[in-house]
Amino acid sequence: NAEQIQVLEGLEAVRKRPGMYIGSVSIRGLHHLVYEIVDNCVDEALAGYCTHIHIIIEKGNIISVEDDGRGIPVDIHPKTHISAAETVYTVLHAGGKFGGDSGYKVSGGLHGVGASVVNALSEWAEVTIQRDGGIYEMKFQRGKTTEKLTRLGDSKKTGTKVRFLADSTIFETLEYDFGTLEERFREIAFLNKGLHITIEDQRNDENLKKSEFCFEGGLISFVEFLNQNKEKIHPTPIYIEKDGEVPVEIALQYTTAYTENIYTFVNNINTIEGGTHLEGFKRGITKVFNDYAKKNGYLKGKDTSFDGSDVREGLTAIISLKIPENLLQFEGQTKSKLGTPQARTVVESIVTEKMTFFLEENKKVAEDIIDKSLKSKLAREAARKAREEVRKGKTKKKEQLLSDKLTPASGKDKTKNELFLVEGESAGGSAKGGRDRKFQAILPLRGKVINTEKANLDDIFKNEEINTMIYTIGAGYGPNFEIEDCKYDKVIIMSDADEDGGH
């Protein structure tokens, strides 16, 4: 009956189902609280009013976040009849609806759940605001106002400071990881050039920590940071920028490595599943290098062309878009895949235009990158041939590869079985002695295993030990990898702590 139907009101809903708002109540959710508060300061920086953000993990895992923005408005809000500041902290989704003057609010699309969620999930929170010539303060417990906004005195400064203690009855742990927070704030500083972010850990007097981030180079600094230990093909990253309805910023640099490292962000949030912006980027890069290589005689015959992966070998790139709320679309498992169609066209066209120009202006760099792409193309084709040969002589070769190497488990339950990869026959012998034969299999690897991070596909597939591992595991490799076909629940690498073991 009607009585049994619960109406969850306001912040109670957040406390009942915290996972719905912050993902989880593990340490990830805990860190999320800090990101949420800092995101609001970053929004104020994006609006052009805030230059410094100072985060402190105080003793007792109290978080303090202070910015030098305009300060959250303190006047009475017409709808809620309480101060705008109190509204922001006590009404769900009230965050960015104020101000309204700029009309262009890009917001942290993915989390963007607002400060009220942090307040609801905190044992206590206090907010200090400086604006309009005064300093104001208000306090809360578990999302409920305990001290309304009060003017404490005069102040010539402006800004907002929030302190909160996460609720230990909700979170599994209150112990913040400094390194995790530090990494995220370094990333935010890279993505917002010129913004100063300071993070301090004051929990342990014997081990005080402090990091200050400000990168005048923005995304260029980000790429230089990622490539610091790599050999570069051109000395400075290429920088591409376009303003408009969907502003785009890209920095990229080629190295002699074999891996590709592309990170995409939308409104400062890492879109780990990629999406339309990444598709546009890949299409643009592929087209530019194919056109240039054909026009300049590096690729001959109308049937030969580079695959996308050929022209991305050794590439490090950061793609950062600012998308207004009305155009934001997210898809995918974790809603971290961009769906906005405009992002594809705008990124593809700017990349095509700017990279075409860059290659024309830097013929030597163009030749070096194309040289590398040609080698990648050859290796890819050779690897395909090798795979086809293996496939043709499939059964025989496979049996040959596995015969007398694998000591299988007697049980056939692939949700239980474990595969131990061990170095050499002698290690294999002792592993056999110690295993539970019902579910543990042993595969000794002979000789030196190739370092696949530093080798090309062609050489990797010529390596017998690699092929043996692929067949033993049974799930294929690369784009054809199928986790469902994996014959083991765990693959355990048991190696010596030396260079060979590392490989």
The residues carrying an active-site annotation are: 423, 496, 498, 500
40 binds ligand 0RA (CB under 6 A): yes
> In this chain, which residue has its C-beta nearest to ligand 0RA?
99
Concatenating the DSSP letter of every residue in 300-346 gives -STT----HHHHHTTEEEEEEE---GGG--EESTTS-EE--HHHHHH
67 binds ligand 0RA (CB under 6 A): yes
45 binds ligand 0RA (CB under 6 A): no
Closest-CA residue to 183 (of 59, 45, 34)? 34
Residues 6+ apart with CB under 8 A from 55: 34, 38, 63, 64, 65, 181, 185, 197, 198, 199, 200
Q: Which is nearer to ligand 0RA, 18 or 69 (CB)?
A: 69
- Minimum CB separation from ligand 0RA for residue 102, in Å? 9
Q: Which is nearer to ligand 0RA, 267 or 276 (CB)?
A: 267
Half-sphere exposure of 59 (CA within 13 A, CB side): 3
Q: Which span (9-17, 54-62, 97-105, 481-489) binds ligand 0RA, by CB under 6 A?
A: 97-105
- Minimum CB separation from ligand 0RA for residue 101, in Å? 6
Backbone torsions φ then ψ of 227, nearest 5 degrees: -100, 10
Spatial separation of the C-alpha atoms in residues 432 and 494, rounded to whole Å: 13
Burial status of residue 205 (CB atoms within 10 A of its CB: 0-12, 13-18, 19 or more): exposed
What's at 475, amino acid-wise?
Answer: A
Spatial separation of the C-alpha atoms in residues 408 and 417, rounded to whole Å: 10
| Contact map string, positions 139 to 168, toward ligand 0RA, x by CB under 6 A | ---------------------x--------
Q: Which is nearer to ligand 0RA, 70 or 344 (CB)?
A: 70
> Which of the residues 163 through 182 are near ligand 0RA (CB under 6 A)?
none
72 binds ligand 0RA (CB under 6 A): yes
Spatial separation of the C-alpha atoms in residues 306 and 289, rounded to whole Å: 8
Q: Of residues 10, 82, 92, 98, which one binds ligand 0RA by CB under 6 A?
A: 98
Closest-CA residue to 90 (of 174, 176, 15)? 15
Spatial separation of the C-alpha atoms in residues 309 and 380, rounded to whole Å: 9
113 binds ligand 0RA (CB under 6 A): no
- Minimum CB separation from ligand 0RA for residue 451, in Å? 48
**Token pair recorded at residue 311:** 């022209």
- Side by side, the strands of the sheet bearing 248-254 are 238-242, 248-254, 315-321, 261-266, 269-270
Q: Of residues 30, 33, 44, 359, which one binds ligand 0RA by CB under 6 A?
A: 44
CB atoms under 10 Å from CB of 177, counted, come to 14
- Minimum CB separation from ligand 0RA for residue 158, in Å? 8
134 binds ligand 0RA (CB under 6 A): no
Q: Which span (40-48, 106-114, 279-287, 480-488) binds ligand 0RA, by CB under 6 A?
A: 40-48
- Minimum CB separation from ligand 0RA for residue 201, in Å? 22
- Minimum CB separation from ligand 0RA for residue 329, in Å? 25
Q: Which span (74-82, 94-102, 315-323, 487-495) binds ligand 0RA, by CB under 6 A?
A: 94-102
Spatial separation of the C-alpha atoms in residues 27 and 40, rounded to whole Å: 21
Q: Of residues 9, 101, 206, 361, which one binds ligand 0RA by CB under 6 A?
A: 101
348 binds ligand 0RA (CB under 6 A): no
86 binds ligand 0RA (CB under 6 A): no
- Minimum CB separation from ligand 0RA for residue 290, in Å? 47
Backbone torsions φ then ψ of 319, nearest 5 degrees: -120, 120
Cα angle 130, 136, 137 (rounded to 5 degrees) comes to: 125
Question: Considering CB under 6 A, how many residues would be counted as binding ligand 0RA?
Answer: 12
Q: Which span (17-25, 67-75, 206-214, 344-352) binds ligand 0RA, by CB under 6 A?
A: 67-75
Q: Which span (65-73, 190-198, 224-232, 409-417) binds ligand 0RA, by CB under 6 A?
A: 65-73
Spatial separation of the C-alpha atoms in residues 249 and 73, rounded to whole Å: 31
Q: Which is nearer to ligand 0RA, 101 or 499 (CB)?
A: 101
Spatial separation of the C-alpha atoms in residues 426 and 495, rounded to whole Å: 12
41 binds ligand 0RA (CB under 6 A): yes
Spatial separation of the C-alpha atoms in residues 232 and 224, rounded to whole Å: 10
Contact positions vs ligand 0RA (CB under 6 A): 40-41, 44, 67, 69-70, 72-73, 98-99, 101, 160
